[in-house]
Amino acid sequence: MCHRPWNRNSQKDNLTYKLNLEMKSLLGVLIIIVFISGCTTESKTTKQRIDIQKLVEKHQILLTNEANFKQHTSLFGASSSLIRFRSKVFAVTAKHLIGKDGGVEPEIEPKNLALYFENWIMYPRVSEKSYDTIQIKNTSFNYEQVNSDILLLEVKNSKNNIYALSPNFELPNENDSLFIIGCPYSEVNCKQNIYNVSYVSFDPESKSLICLMKDKVELSGFSGAPIIDIEGKIVGILVGGWEENGKNYVSATSICEINNIK
């Protein structure tokens, strides 16, 4: 904001009045910026760390997919989870799973999912009770404002034994500790594991969080797995991984992107 030079002959009341106007204008601009931003870049409150190990031991979070579509091959495997959003429970996973990467051919655009939908269920990879199975509704959402790798699905059965995560719409700070809840296909009896990662940066083009893995792990089947913060809130959906300069990285679509799905 530009300021006029101070005039020594100005009256004190006049100067105070101008400063008050400028402060009010600046405050208005800041409020607008906060409301139009999908995610904030810094944490506004002190996060309350919880015991992530106990959370995962007590609650089932990780799910796998089984879906059938008209005129398309089926989806079986990969990862998903539940989320509390808009006062309801939804399922979230990676959008690329309804394409060849998920075994679905030809690829289905999210806007056309309702046209080809037959059935979709989600359940723990090692399930002991029938109410662990989540049934997905055939619902059509508007994805016109979404170019990122994320898929939001409406849940049919609200009573189940699966823990629904709350979203954190604040971007992590650099080097923040985050946790992948996932299972490698090689672990046949795996229900869900915890993998530590640290936040590196945000890629504005893909709307992805870039994270450094502390341990090397085979990521096959991790697409759609939730990444949570120290509060146990979901911040992203894992969509890819790679090795660079001897270090292992993962990318996760920011959970903020669900705000653009109507």
Q: Do residue 160 and residue 95 come from a single domain?
A: yes
Percent of the chain with pLDDT over 70: 82
| The pTM of the whole model exceeds 0.85 | no
In a domain, 176, yes or no: yes
In a domain, 222, yes or no: yes
Among 164, 179, 199, the domain boundary falls at: 164
Give percent of the chain with pLDDT exceeding 90. Answer: 74
Domain boundary, last residue among 129, 164, 199: 164
What domain range is 104 assigned to?
60-164
Average pLDDT on 161-186 reads 96
Average the pLDDT over 233-251 and give the result. 96
Q: Over the stretch 175-191, which tens digit does the pLDDT of each residue have?
A: 999 999 999 999 988 99
CATH number for the domain spanning 253: value is 2.40.10.10
- Per-residue pLDDT band for 210 (boundaries 50, 70, 90) equals very high
Give the Å distances, CA to CA, from 176 to 11, 64, 197, 198, 217. Answer: 50, 27, 9, 5, 20
Closest by alpha carbon to 80, among 24, 142, 16, 124?
124
> pLDDT tens, 7-64?
334 444 444 444 454 544 444 444 334 434 467 665 556 778 999 999 999 999 999 9
Q: How many domains does the chain have?
A: 2
Q: Which of 116, 136, 164 is the last residue of a domain?
A: 164
98 shares its domain with 187: no
Do 136 and 216 belong to one domain?
Answer: no
Lowest mean pLDDT among 102-111, 152-161, 175-184: 152-161
CB proximity list for 226: less than 8 A, separation 6 or greater = 61, 62, 79, 81, 92, 165, 180, 181, 234, 236, 237, 238
Tokens of 56: 């995962």
Is residue 196 domain-shared with residue 143, that is, in the same domain? Answer: no
Mean pLDDT value of segment 114-130? 89
Helices (H), the chain: 12-36, 52-58, 113-116
- Overall residue count recorded for the chain in this entry: 262
